[in-house]
Structure 1
Amino acid sequence: MKAPVRARAERQEKFEVNGDPAKLDAMYARFLGRSGPKMLSDETKWLAVTHKSFDHARRGFNDRMAFLGRQIVELQTSLGLLNNVDANGYMSNSQDAYGRQPFHHPSIENVEVLNGGGKQFFLHHKQISGVAARYGLPEVVRWQPKDVHDLPGSGCDMVYAQALYAIVGALALEQGGQVANKIARERILQPVGLRTGSLEGSPAEQAISS
């Protein structure tokens, strides 16, 4: 609910956001491909790019979709690292203080890569924000920065990364997990440098599915 007259003066300088559906569709086409604008309903397309700071969250916001999308991207990152022959550089090099040797087996050798900094590197919000910028997401995200003259200081990287995750979550809800997983691998993780390849039928994929 909104009062007809403000009791206090507006403290924040107004931040202009996109209201053009054609511009929004152009971003989805860059991110999802030529048929991207048709993969989500109109309401969902706007909701996925709406942060809770926009219009005091009166028009809905993307937190829940972003949470689902992040889980999907994190899972695909883990699977990608487990199946990446070049992932040894992300192995944890910590040594046991007492010189003890952990149990080793070929089938679980690559699991150690998940203890390193690989996931944190690929999923850092600045990395994901950089990918979002490639697709023009910053031009269509609806939010209200704390300082319109200092977007980085207002947390724009977190906002853009959240919107990208929200689109993945929206795809999972309306198009299914297979489509969302494919987009996460090909349109988010590969651009940040994780060569995931095809994970269908891989040992890690089968282990998750079983």
Structure 2
Amino acid sequence: MASNLSTRAARTACSASKAASRPLATIIPRRTFATGPESSTGEAEQPRWSYTPPRAKAPFSLRLHSKRPFFHVNSDPALLDQFYIRMLGNGGDQVLSDELKWLAVTHKSFDQGRRGFNDRLAFLGKRIVQLQASLALVQNPEAANASPKTDPHGRTPFSHPALDGLRSLSPETKSFLTDRSKLAELAQKYEMQNVLRWTPRKPDDLKASGLELVLAHTMYAVIGAVSLEKGGHIANKVAQERILEPLGLKTVS
């Protein structure tokens, strides 16, 4: 009995010493992420954005006998690159990876969300744009036409040039200057509607289907994608130069 215990202890100690001598990468399993299916040779057959995953397909059509007209969405990478050049400037088609370029312009209504969608990117991008809008208002009090209120008791409030911009910083002012309709109008100037991937509820009436909301949402998603790919500094610059300045807000660098 004692000899069996000693043998097991020796085997355990030997296994532990072998595991300790191996590299950490061989001990901890690695998680690999793929953006598309792989063939038997390990090579990706097609990009993830261009197809619906086979396992995500329903066994039958969810729109059987539907009378809703077909809505065409862009699948041309060259057309998408032209949009990014218009929005991000020269070389804008090289800022993001191919997969992220498509993801940023994909709404969750497209293909039942089975190819990925831009909600998380838009959440991040909206925070960046709102922060830069706040900084622009503080640095440019004239942008909101802020005027001090007259005190009914004749008192003179404390004033300092560094605090003048705080009168402009209010939720109402910021929401007015970055209004959804203004963002959507700017997106249409960049011709985002030509590359937007979504499925409108009424293909014959895009406005009633929420085109304005989807365009503003996608504008935020592009900023979020730039932040994810290039970092916050570049995303801040893009938000200032390509969104806030066209809307009339200029940040002093």
Tell whether 2:215 aligns with 1:160.
yes
**Following superposition of structure 1 onto structure 2, how do residues 11-30 of structure 1 map, counting pairs within 5 Å?**
12-30=68-86
CA distance in 2, matches of 1:177, 1:130: 25
Larger Rg: 2
Segments of 5+ residues of structure 2 without an aligned counterpart are: 1-55
Total equivalences in the alignment:
196
| Runs of 4+ residues over 3 Å off in structure 1 | 90-93, 98-105
CA distance in 2, matches of 1:79, 1:122: 13
Q: Compute the displacement of 1:148 (Å).
A: 0.8
CA distance in 2, matches of 1:178, 1:124: 24
Q: Compute the displacement of 1:158 (Å).
A: 0.8
Of 124, 127, 146, which aligns to 1:68? 124
Q: Compute the displacement of 1:12 (Å).
A: 3.6
Alpha carbons 2:141, 2:167 under 8 Å: kept = no
Q: Pick closer, same or farther for the CA change 1:99–1:13 going to 2, 3 Å.
A: farther
CA distance in 2, matches of 1:11, 1:90: 53
Give the structure 1 partner of residue 90 of structure 2: 34
| TM-score normalised by structure 2 residue count | 0.71
Percent pairwise identity: 45
Q: Compute the displacement of 1:90 (Å).
A: 4.2
Give the structure 2 partner of residue 128 of structure 1: 183
Give the structure 1 partner of residue 105 of structure 2: 49
Segments of 5+ residues of structure 1 without an aligned counterpart are: 200-210
Answer 1 or 2: higher relative contact order, Cα 8 Å, separation at least 6.
1
SS in 1 for 2:168: helix
Q: Compute the displacement of 1:89 (Å).
A: 1.1
Q: Pick closer, same or farther for the CA change 1:8–1:89 going to 2, 3 Å.
A: closer
Please, what is the CA RMSD of the aligned residues?
A: 2.3
CA distance in 2, matches of 1:157, 1:26: 21
Q: Pick closer, same or farther for the CA change 1:89–1:12 going to 2, 3 Å.
A: same
CA distance in 1, matches of 2:192, 2:97: 18
Q: Pick closer, same or farther for the CA change 1:137–1:8 going to 2, 3 Å.
A: closer
